[in-house]
Structure 1
Amino acid sequence: MHKILAQHSTAQPAKSIGFCLAFLKLFDTPKSTLTRLQNNTANANKAPNPELGEIALAQSIYFKPVAFGTDLFEFFQAVKTQSFLKTHQIRFIFLTDYQNIYAYDFKTQESLDVSFLDLAKYYDFFLPLAGIEKYIETAENPADVKAAYTMGKLFDQLKKYNQFEQQTDLHLLNVFLTRLLFCFFAEDTAIFPKNAFTALLENHSTKDGKNVKSLLTELFRCLNTPDEQYRQKQPRFIAQFPYVNGNLFAEDLAIPEFDNRARRLMLDCAAMNWAEINPDIFGSMFQSVTDPQKRSQLGQHYTSVPNIMKVIEPLFLNPLKQEFDAIKMLKQGQEKRLQELLMRLSTIKIFDPACGSGNFLIIAYQELRKLEVDIFKELAQSQSMFSGISLDQFYGIEIDDFAIETARLSMYLAEHKMNQHLEKELGIHQPTLPLVHNSSLVAGNSLRLNWHEICPNNGTDEIYIIGNPPFGGSGNRSDEQTKDMEIVFQGFRKFKFLDYVACWFWKGTQYIKGTQAKLALVSTNSLCQGEQVAMLWKYVFEEQVFIHFAYQSFPWANNARDKAAVHVVIVGLSAQEEKHKTIYKLTDKQWFSQTVGNISPYLMEGSNIVIESRENPVGNILEMVYGNKPADGGFLLLSTEEKDTLLYSEPKAEKWIRKLLGADEFLNGGERYCLWLVNITEDELSQMPLVQKRIEGVRQMRLASRKAATVRLASTPHLFAEIRQPNEGNYILVPRVSSAERRYIPMNIISSDVISSDANTLLPNATMYEFGVLNSLIHNDWMRTVAGRLGMGYRYSNTIVYNTFPFPNASESQKAHIAELAEEVLLVRSDFPEMTLAQMYNPETMPAELKAAHETLDRAVEKLYREKPFADAAERVEFLFGLYEKLIRAEKQAGR
């Protein structure tokens, strides 16, 4: 497309249809249609001036080149009502003077107003021409997304027209947009006179946009001035606007310059009904406005209301509602108790220490206000009551100062909407203006600030910490975030492999311990799996802080295209030991709750025991080891082509070449080889100069290493750095990383002649019985609970998974039965030689016969543990945890 644009950017308008034909060709328009267009036989209604380049293709596009300098928007207003557009179901209008473009999509009612040379950036606008409908993300309310898209176009135009590139300029533009957002919202929700702001723009700004800056300067000054004498001196169209305050318009910041396009886009924004748009999405909307790449993925930056409710309902909202319901059942003393509950609502503190744009705080505020209205309705004298819930009860910290400003604005607007709710329900008018500056929302690094200074906690205050802090696995943290972790976890022996979100749990633990405060945060599910459990939770429990409710792992549904990519948990903490605790489980797309005596750090019923890495297996079982580590710079490893080339020149090397299996070759097929020079003599080596050259490459690579241990290995450059290969027999190979989608980790029994790399773990001298147990569902469920994560996969480890797994006690006859069923699994696999292990164990392509063989094996292995079948994975793992505790106690009693 860039080439086509360059060819036509200097073209004289209205002379040929070459550009339009080339443009349509890019969208796979049939050649026959293009030919008919060129011959003017396909034009809808025979476009009036085809010889001047006009095209009208039925059910597709109306293309019209115009004279240079034509106001394209004005021209669009003139042509959009022409009858042939409707008659022939034209989808797109495309107007251009080859310097600028104005296009309109009648179906989505979206417009495109860009320079001609920028058209390639917006090709997706025209994808329906190729039969690909645009996927518009929604975040519960389609108006929210449309508002983000429209304001995003305004942001782009102002940035471009004013040539804003510096961060300070962009910050000023962001603040300006928040002020516009308030004005749009205010005129649709009775803060301003109805449509006052739109009328101001339409009636008192010039079409070229040149006086918009001065007009808005006067308006913002008026909104920040309480002096009535000042207002009396202003024109009526300015003086009609009220005093706002709240620091929203306090700073006299520069307003960007406008052109006609920016003015039109601002009017497009104003034309929307902002009363339909939820204040809790404003912050997320602004993320998408200011970052074009995020604009089409609004849902990814928006925590949905249902997910926020999962945090706040069990933490405080449901207990408050239950108390309200109990009071309503009282036969006497009801009014006093209701007044006490109202007083309680006015003293509760809600604190989000990673608040972003305030979504959690806004929903919490709105829900408390709704409850307050319900209480008012129960009181006879409700007509004289005003809300006692203040924005000052809602505290937040956010590192992005613009997000904090957006959060403040969103809270103001949420307050106004709840005042409207109060008036609608009870007829009580509670004025929103003037706004009161909210100083309880603070811009700063939450992990380096003293939370007690932001939200004071005297030990008896009713405080609830909520939020969805940044996750940040160990592989994708910035240097600054790593420094944050060093500060938060000062004194910890191991913490660097914790997810970044763990910082908020640990700081939260320190904040609530010994007090009435409680906490509930969203986290990556990996924080409650694998090695991270021992790194964090045992220290939390040592502070006498307990898990009082938890949501087990579930997909973070946020209406984004890849919403299933992130799985999270919600963990509620309290320093008050509660008799009954609740676990929420997602089963068959339905949530169920389970009341338990204690919630383990793995978010299941059980004790607070944590599974820590062990050097030796628990119980009397075979030892599993890591595969062989080359640390060779690639010189000892060979592709099939390299192997063949080497053997062609040095046939004697064949004795020393072995097949090599990394995890990729094992799972996906393919061949790789290695030089396995264990026990080679100097005489044998001297007869292979090409092999010697490779060995010298290893030596030089190891000598150049910054690690002393690697340098020492340069003395044996012909050998792998770490060798654990069994000398005889077979071994079970287990890849160290496996997809989280698989029900079973693919394993196999491999001959000791085949070398395994350190991408796998090995169980030497294993029998078919061990193979059967390791391939069972109960072992895989244990792995999913205690294994670490690597990206979206599980990281199988001998120290944390295998060494901690409680093998069943089995008789010789039982072992023989398991071995037979394990052999059947291998026989079924052999019936599908065309499939790789990755394909066989992909849930979507797993052969039914293989699945059946595994299920038979699963039932048999489970019977080794108990006769009664397990209900689900949680019950299997809970049972294994009980066995593990018994084994650990037995070890301690034996002094091991």
Structure 2
Amino acid sequence: MNAVEIEEAISLLADQRFDAEEFPFAFLEAFGNKATTIKKLRSGASNKSDQGGVLQTNNIHIKVCEPGTVTESLRALKESPATTKAKAKYVLATDGNEFEAEDLIGGETVACAYKDFPDHFGFFLSLAGISTVKQIRENAFDIKATGRLNRLYVELLKDNPEWGTEERRHDMNHFMARLIFCFFAEDTDIFDGENLFTGTIEQMSERDSSNTHEVIGELFRSMNTKFEERADAKIPRWADKFPYVNGGLFSGSTDVPRFSRIAQRYLFHIGNLDWKMINPDIFGSMIQAVADDEERGALGMHYTSVPNILKVLNPLFLDDLREKLEEAGDNSRKLLNLRNRMAKIRVFDPACGSGNFLVIAYKEMRAIEAEINKRRGEKDRRTDIPLTNFRGIELRDFSAEIARLALIIAEFQCDVLHRGQQEALKEFLPLNAMNWITCGNALRLDWLSICPPTGTGVKIASDDLFETPLDQAEIDFENEGGETYICGNPPYAGSSKQTADQKRDVAHVFEAHTRTWRSLDLVACWFKLASDYLEKTIGSFAFVSTNSICQGEQVPILWPLIYHRGMCINFAHTSFKWANLASNNAGVTVVIVGVSPRKSDTKRLFQQDTDSEVEVRKVSNINAYLIAGADVIVSAISKPTDDRGYMIRGNMATDGGNLLLSESEKAELERTWPESSKYIKKFIGAQELINGLSRYCIWIEDDEYASAICIPEIADRIEKVRNARLESTASSTRDYAAFPYKFRQIQGICNTSCIVLPRVTSENRDYLTADYFDSNTIVGDRNFTICDAPLWNLAIVCSRLHWIWMGAISARLEMRLSYANTLGWNTFPIPKLTEKNKEDLTHCAKDILLAREAHWPATIADLYDPEKMPDDLRAAHERNDEVLERIYIGRRFRNDTERLEKLFELYTKMTTKQGAPETRKAGAQ
């Protein structure tokens, strides 16, 4: 469950008649406990309460008590030995009138009327495994409002299905934006009169809701009519109390969907919330899901925390503004210069969604400006920061509308905070009709026209803020010489998950610049276009991105194009979790990359090991792999340049399955035809390597063919191979039907032994799962192999150093690591090894193999599960890592960052010494 679902369930429970016997179970069910868990608690099988209540181990001790005894009951729960023994996190007591609870770990308490306990739902969210509790408590209103609006939206579509069609979806979304504004306006005195909007609808609507849509339509019409024109427009007296809003929010059609009795009740419930508490920096990202069929199923998971967004905005430009404020002190002239500079700054999010980044940037800049005004003795001064300097592009029209609305609300709230309620109200209405959020495809539009580097005239004029042309562009504003900071969290979409339209967009951006664009994630387009943009203006950009654009095959495709524009990485956050409101804080692993044409002496590298600790390092350069080091891009090398073994891809059968044998097929063949054993070898594919499966293959040399086909089953299998190849659409495979007794591609045969490693491996393991086999083994093409290599090569392949290198420079299949011999093995920097080094590493490799053997028949998958790895095997790997790392720097590396930095340093020296390496496409054989 996510936070919105939990809040709705808790609110529903509070609205029902209090049932003393049922309450504990209903409460736990509201936080996502399964029916089987509740059943065990009901039966007493898992209920360990000694207070006549319900005690869930490791979670909560609940008691429903006699009226007037809530405080005493809570004390008894807290002092209960059973509470201590069960390691309960919370105690809760209620009598149906009063409600009290305590967090036994943090010491916080809740005491309220029973009907109000849903207001504190965030207090208990760790019961549901949600760890973003602090942020949720701060934004509890937004979560509650989102859930209520969603219920209203769904209910309206039930009775007005045509409003959910593609033709009317925009009308429905526009209606929801109008409602949100009205709810906010009536609680913040923008509407003059307490509960004016909701109260008027309640007063003028029939009890059966038959005319509710007409009442709302008249209110919208009133807010779109100037006072001097209302008599001619025949605005009803009861609607004439509403102000003229304009700004396009209420222009156009005043058509409203019809309301059922249920929808009408939802409307009143929403209106009775305290909309002064809205946070436009989070609310927009949640409400956009209400209007999206695909996203509504994940409602409540569209949370983007302010701290995460500030990880982008602070180092991008806000830190610099604050530093300049600190330097200015009370110097009036310096403060004025800073304020003038801020008035010209444009913040541009070309994938703005509902405007989170823009809203937070605006609020932070207003806070800095307020401090400037305070120091200059101009506390009540009107802002110099125009809302129209906060530009965005958004593909979905409702999200674009919500972004504009969120910025309007943010402006009003900032005016109230920094200038006072009266000043804010005096200048808020009517709304300005200028447009600064463009609805369209950012990968097809001209960014320079949407956010021009200097003040220019409007290319396409519009009087309607909320009904703009697709390519609405410039606003006439004066900011000659101002900076532009581009930011945001664009869509990621890896190459295998892109829609046909997205593929065409990637081609549009990259096709003229690189032939290998098909491997790029969708987010790479924003990096390219932002670099192009900054060739023409002053500024920098920073995007949240999947870490894949800074790893593997995407680096040599994307980053040379960015460097060619004269850009460099000014700051970066290495991988961390971009969280949402779901249970277990589910989220995607991302990086943040800040790019600028300015060459600064120091760059900042942010590395987050835990949720609370972020290390900030000042470094001279950050490369495309987000490593402190030279701007080197690792290119594939066709052959090793030292005495390490030559790694090749395994052999491809392309046989229709006829040359491969299961354990039982092999046994039956050898039982029937004992002489067939000389043509059978062990076969190692990916599943055989990792999961210990047994498979074999028929392997016939040219001079054995005549005798082999004397065995009927082998002859039959060979004929089936021939037919399968002849049916292939590939001409090269059809040609190879002439040799049906052979594998289609034979890369190499090992004479003595082979080291085998998978082409694709799980990112969750701590080491690459290579193994060692004798020469009577045929390696399949899902693996790589080093034939007849000395055993010290296995120690290298199985080291933490090599795993970290591979993770940085190899390609990805989803999140799994895709190994490449020419990119992963041949490029791996190995210092010149002495014979003693090789001997020590050989011993380490043997120890690893012996430790595995001690746990037979456990498979590689079993042994290398990070949670279950045997202690002796882990110790063998630790010894191997220590021996190898001492060869590199004389001691163990402190962390993976230090490992990578050393490897990139050695790679730079290696390739500089050799000159430009012979390269081919990343991942080539």
Bin the TM-score by the shorter chain: 0.7 to 0.9
Task: Extract unaligned runs of 5+ from structure 2.
Answer: 1-25, 44-62, 65-93, 100-113, 120-124, 455-479, 920-925
Q: Contact 1:618/1:806 (CA < 8 Å) preserved in 2?
A: no
Is contact 1:231–1:239 with CA below 8 Å preserved after alignment? Answer: no
- Distance in 1 of aligned mates of 2:207 and 2:917: 89
Identical aligned pairs, as a percentage? 37
Aligned to 2:183: 184
Which letter maps to 2:345? Answer: I
For 1:862 and 1:136, the matched residues in 2 are separated by: 37
Alignment of 1:8-407 (within 5 A): 27=35, 86=96, 140=136, 141-164=139-162, 165-192=164-191, 193-230=193-230, 234-291=235-292, 294-295=295-296, 297-298=298-299, 300-328=301-329, 334-383=331-380, 385-407=381-403
Distance 1:895 1:553, change over 3 A: closer
Q: How big is the shift at 1:260?
A: 0.7
Residue number in structure 2 paired with 1:465: 486
Q: Greater CA deviation, 267-276 or 742-751?
A: 267-276
Task: Using the TM superposition, give the Cα deviation of residue 806 of structure 1 relative to its aligned residue in structure 2, in angstroms.
Answer: 1.1
Q: Report if the CA contact (8 A) 2:300-2:581 is conserved.
A: yes
Q: Determine the structure 2 residue equivalent to 1:763.
A: 786
Can you list the C-alpha shifts for 1:465-514, whole angstroms capped at 9, x where unaligned? 00111111111011111111111112313221111111110111111126
- Alignment partner of 1:167: what SS? coil
Q: Tell me whether 697-706 or 592-601 shows the greater mean CA deviation.
A: 697-706
Asked if the contact 1:601–1:610 (Cα under 8 Å) also holds between the matched residues in 2, the reply is: yes
Please show how residues 671-710 of structure 1 align to structure 2 within 5 Å: 671-679=694-702, 681-710=704-733
Q: Distance in 2 between matches of 1:276 and 1:789?
A: 43
Kept in 2: contact 1:297–1:561 (CA 8 A): no
| Residues 1:891 and 2:914 aligned together | yes
Contact 1:600 / 1:609 at 8 angstroms: preserved in 2?
A: yes
Shift of 1:823: 1.2
* Residue aligned with 2:879, SS: helix
Task: Give the distance between the partners of 2:426 and 2:717, measured in 1 at CA.
Answer: 83
Q: Distance in 2 between matches of 1:170 and 1:437?
A: 23
8 A contact 1:346–1:388 mirrored in 2: yes
Take 2:161 and 2:368, find their aligned partners in 1: how far apart are those partners? Answer: 49
- Deviation per CA, 1:582-633: give whole Å up to 9, x if none: 1111134411111111111111211111001221124342211111122233
Any residues of structure 2 matched to 1:448-459 within 5 Å, and which? 448-458=444-454
1:419/1:431 contact within 8 Å kept = no
CA distance in 2, matches of 1:575, 1:791: 32
Deviation at 1:456, TM superposition (A): 0.8
* CA 1:513–1:286: 2 relative to 1, 3 Å: same
Cα distance between partner residues in 1 of 2:166 and 2:297: 23
Aligned counterparts of 1:379 and 1:522: Cα–Cα separation in 2: 37
Cα deviation code 1:736-764 (max 9, x no counterpart)? 12221221111111123222222111111
Task: Name the CA distance, whole Å, in 2 between partners of 1:717 and 1:231.
Answer: 92
Tell whether the 8 Å contact from 1:658 to 1:755 is kept in structure 2 after alignment: yes
What is aligned with 1:581? 603
Paired residue secondary structure (1:658): strand
The answer on 1:634 being equivalent to 2:657 is: yes
Equivalent-residue separation in structure 1 for 2:532 and 2:721 (angstroms):
50
Say if 2:349 and 2:393, in contact at 8 Å, map to a contact too: yes
SS in structure 2 of the partner of residue 262 of structure 1: helix
CA distance in 1, matches of 2:328, 2:637: 54
The AA in structure 1 aligned to 2:174 is: V
CA 1:631–1:417 in 2, change beyond 3 Å: closer, same or farther? farther
Between 713-722 and 152-161, the greater mean CA deviation after superposition: 713-722
Distance 1:766 1:259, change over 3 A: same
Aligned partner letter, 1:407: A
Structure 1 spans left out of the alignment, 5+ residues: 1-22, 35-57, 60-83, 90-104, 111-127
Bigger drift between 553-562 and 155-164 goes to 553-562
Distance in 1 separating the partners of 2:753 and 2:626:
38
CA shift, 1:426, in A, is 11
2:897 aligned to 874, 882, 895, which one? Answer: 874
- 2:544 partner letter: V
Q: How many corresponding residue pairs?
A: 787
Structure 1 counterpart of 2:382, which letter? F
Kept after mapping to 1: 8 A contact 2:352/2:393: yes
- 1:491 and 2:513 equivalent? yes
Shift of residue 682, structure 1, vs aligned partner: 4.4
Q: Is the CA contact 1:516–1:576 (under 8 Å) kept in the aligned structure 2? A: no
Q: What letter matches 1:764 in structure 2? A: C
Structure-2 separation of matches of 1:894 and 1:466: 36
- The answer on whether the counterparts of 2:170 and 2:397 sit within 8 Å (CA) in structure 1 is no
How far off is 1:416 after superposition?
A: 1.5
Q: Shift of residue 768 of structure 1?
A: 2.0
Deviation at 1:680, TM superposition (A): 6.5
Amino acid in the other structure paired with 1:472: A
Tell me, in whole angstroms, the C-alpha distance in 1 between the residues paired with 2:798 and 2:35.
50
Assess if the C-alpha contact under 8 Å between 2:637 and 2:918 holds in 1: no
Name the CA shift for 1:432/1:718 in 2 (closer, same or farther; >3 Å): farther
Aligned twin of 1:753: 776
Check the 8 A contact 2:810/2:818 in 1, yes or no: yes
Paired amino acid for 1:375: I
Alpha-carbon distance in structure 1 between the residues aligned to 2:721 and 2:194:
78
Counterpart secondary structure, 2:411: helix
Aligned partner of 1:668 among 684, 688, 691: 691
Within a 5 Å distance, the mapping from 1:710-721 to structure 2 comes to 710-721=733-744
Distance in 2 (alpha carbons) for counterparts of 1:545 and 1:612: 20
Root-mean-square deviation (CA), in Å?
A: 3.2
Determine if contact 2:303/2:579 at 8 Å carries over to the other structure.
no
Q: Supply the distance in 2 between the matched residues of 1:751 and 1:690 (Cα, whole angstroms).
A: 27
Check 1:354–1:866 CA distance in 2 against 1; reply closer, same or farther (3 A cut): same
CA contact (8 A) 2:541 2:595 kept: yes
Q: 1:832 to 1:344 in 2, by over 3 A?
A: same
Aligned to 1:101: none
Matched residue SS, 1:184: helix
Partner of 2:152, secondary structure, is: helix
Residues 846-881 of structure 1: CA deviation (Å, up to 9, x unaligned): 122222221111111011122144222111211121
Distance 1:566 1:239 in 2: 50
